[in-house]
Amino acid sequence: MVVIPSTCCLSFISKKIPESRVVSYCLANRSVFPKAGVMSVTLQGSMGLRGPKQLWVQRYVRDLDARRSILPQVQGNISTP
C-alpha cells in the first residue's frame, strides 16, 4: 500500500529538472492522486507530480521507456567469465 502525504500532488510541478536526474516514473491516476499526471522519481528519491501535457515530460517518459526496452537486450548480450 502506498501512503501519500495529504500535501502531495495537489498541483503539478512545472519546474523542469535535468533529464539525467530522472530515473523512473509512474502514471498517477485520479483514484490515488488528486490529479492525473506523471509522478517522476529522481536519483535522490524525490518525487513530484508533473503535467502529462508538458512536452518535456512526454519526452522524458518516451526516453525512459526506450531505455527500459534496450536494457534487457544489452543484459542478454553480456557474458560472464
Q: Is the pTM of this model over 0.85?
A: no
Q: Is residue 13 within 8 Å of 28, Cβ to Cβ?
A: no
34 occurs within a structural domain: yes
pLDDT at residue 9 is higher than 90: no
Beta-strand ranges (E) seen in the chain are 22-28, 37-42, 47-50
pLDDT at 64: 93
52 occurs within a structural domain: yes
If one compares 9 and 20, the residue with the highest pLDDT of the two is: 20
And the C-alpha cell for 2? 502506498
1 occurs within a structural domain: no
- The string of pLDDT tens digits covering residues 18-64 is 999 999 998 888 777 778 899 999 999 888 899 999 999 999 999 99
11 occurs within a structural domain: no
| Confidence bin at 80 (pLDDT 50/70/90) | very low
